[in-house]
Chain A
Amino acid sequence: MTTEKKGAVGTRWTGPMLDVYAGLVLLYLFLPIFVIIAYSFNKPEGKFNFVWKAFSLDAWRDPFIYPALVEAMKLSLKVAAVSTSVATVFGALIALALCRYTWKAAGPVNFLLVLPLTTPEVVLGSSLLSLFLQANVQTGFWTIVIAHIMFSVSYVALTVKARIRGFDWTLEEAAMDLYANPLRVIFKVTLPLIAPGIAAAAMLSFALSLDDFIITLFNAGSRVTYPLYVYGARRAAFPPQINVLATVILLGSLLLLGATVLWQNRRLKEALTGK
């Protein structure tokens, strides 16, 4: 480029230097991901897949030979499914209330939503555990689910809120003026409007649940989720199958993300053409 665009920032020298710097930062972000994928094809010497030995497809051919790893993955998916369903409903309802009504309790509710995000996970996990200890609750599947719903509600509510702020709610009134009954308004107007925001929030909540380690560690009792299995694996054995599953999760999320983008584009088209 010989001339910089007006408003574009960076001189002839600083601009390209910034680009290179940004590229290096992206490389830093991606280096571990490359390593994870590459080492899923490793044939490690011994039990720990930390040093490159030889290329092999063994782990991809038998991703499920470690029953404990499979069980852990199943548990993680189950926890994520249950906690995401509940947290998405709770969070979306809060977001709706905050965006639809001018309301004196909106400030305190917002504050309560932000609090868990500004508390370190180790404090969230340990305080929940101290509650369960005092109430004599045995920690296990349901305590994990309770914990995951707790931290997901805030993320869902804030994500949905950010997406639906500034929507034209008079559309609902227009529908009612046209003699739609309230149920019809909800299903034909409100839900389609907020659905993309809710889908994004649900995906975020699912990913957070699947990934959570610290809070789960405190409240899992004897149950082992996928992150807890990986954590334990540092002592016993770290097979390449862990990398295979991590790669599969990555590919699965990418597919899901792509599908959501396509779906949202279609919805947009439908909304514009009135179908």
Chain B
Amino acid sequence: MAGIAAGGSRRSALAPWLLVAPGVLWLLAFYLVPTLTLARTSFATGDLPWYDGYQRAFTDYGQHMLRSFGYALTATIAAILLGYPLAYVMAFRADRLKNFLLGLVILPFFTTFLVRTFAWKTILNDGGPVVNLLGTLHLLPADGRLLNTIWAVIGGITYNFLPFMILPIYVSLEKIDRRLTEAAQDLYCNQFTAFRKVVLPLSLPGVLAGSLLTFIPASGDFLNAELLGSPNQKMLGSVIQGQFLTVRDYPLAAALSFALMALITILVVMYARALGTEDLA
């Protein structure tokens, strides 16, 4: 943070430590320590080699991992395609409706996420209006179903995390100085070029933040796959939950969980590098 906080020099250097102590200790005890415990659990294979959990995680559940990342990636791209234009309209075209639209975007948070996912089950049900409409347009797969398909699962995931994509993009668009686009147009940029050369680059931090807020939870999500999909769409989160809570193969479950986190971290760093922005906070 730039600048010198007022009065900082006058106060004792102990004050900020005391202020952050309860929260930071809580996070250390119940975020950092558990993560380390998880790592330890993943190696606690008994007589088997230490990497046994990881070996089984990648050989037996590699496809679930790939599927989870594939679904999360597709949902993230879909959320950008759906969310960016909406955020753009909110920031540049909505005028006085801006705050109202913002309220509409966060409204879904106020109904339980699980109940909303069940509502999709109703909407996509066989014989429902959506299935009938798409059926008439011959847009459905051969068996004429939407529920229990990959499309229902990805649609559900996209839906769940869409507001997390819209809000950061909106914030970054909102911050853009309007005079910049005017200047671009004065310099004979057409509207599309002005967007491509000025607005889009300046909104990339928002796209980055939104993508992370979508991709990360989406890759660990399993409710959409469980409620809207069939066993063919089972995601890694389901496997982790089953191994932890039902099978109780803790080393395998911990290895799966830890591998998921490590892979996400790698992907996130690569993505942040590619977009050229690294301040996520």
Contact = CB atoms under 8 A, between A and B. Distances in A.
Given A18-B88, A101-B8, A246 B244 contact: no
B6 A170 contact: yes
A19 B31 contact: no
Contacts of B114: 211, 213, 227, 230-231
Contact of B109 (A98, A207, A226, A243): A207
B234 interface: no
A268 interface: no
Contacts of B92: 8-10
A33 interface: yes
Interface string B15-42: 1110110111011101111110110110
Task: Give the interface centre of B7, B104, B122, B237 by most chain A CB atoms within 10 Å.
Answer: B122
A186 interface: no
Task: Give the interface centre of A119, A133, A169, A247 by most chain B CB atoms within 10 Å.
Answer: A119
A123 B261 contact: yes
Judged by DSSP, the binding face of B is helix
A101 to B, nearest CB: 4
Interface in A16-55: 18-19, 21-22, 25-26, 28-33, 35-36, 39, 50-51
A10 B178 contact: no
Interface in A48-66: 50-51
B81 to A, nearest CB: 10
A104 B251 CA distance: 38
A121 B88 CA distance: 30
A94 B257 CA distance: 29
Given A120-B237, A123-B260, A242-B115, A109 B6 contact: no
A50 B122 contact: yes
Interface string A218-230: 1000000011001
Given A18-B85, A22-B90, A218-B244, A120 B217 contact: yes
A210 B41 CA distance: 30
A153 interface: yes
B61 interface: no
Contacts of A158: 281
Interface in B83-122: 83, 85-86, 88-90, 92-93, 101, 103-105, 107-122
A234 interface: yes
B16 A100 contact: yes
B191 A118 contact: no
B214 to A, nearest CB: 12
Interface in A170-201: 170, 172-173
Contact of A28 (B34, B159, B245): B159
Interface in A112-136: 112-124, 126-131, 133-134
A211 B115 CA distance: 10
Contacts of B204: none
A70 B89 CA distance: 42
B71 interface: no
B75 interface: no
A153 B27 CA distance: 8
A275 interface: no
B181 interface: yes
Interface string A238-251: 10001100110110
Interface of B: 1, 3-8, 11, 15-17, 19-20, 22-24, 26-28, 30-35, 37-38, 40-41, 82-83, 85-86, 88-90, 92-93, 101, 103-105, 107-123, 125, 159, 162-163, 178-179, 181-182, 191, 194-195, 199, 212-213, 216-217, 219-223, 227, 236-237, 240-241, 244-245, 250, 253-254, 257-258, 260-261, 264-265, 268, 280-281
Interface of A: 6-11, 14-15, 18-19, 21-22, 25-26, 28-33, 35-36, 39, 50-51, 89-91, 93-94, 96-103, 105-106, 109-124, 126-131, 133-134, 146-147, 149-150, 153-154, 157-158, 165, 169-170, 172-173, 207, 210-211, 213-214, 217-218, 226-227, 230-231, 234, 238, 242-243, 246-247, 249-250, 253-254, 257
Given A30-B107, A111-B281, 8 more contacts: A93-B22, A105-B16, A109-B24, A121-B220, A126-B241, A169-B6, A213-B114, A250-B110
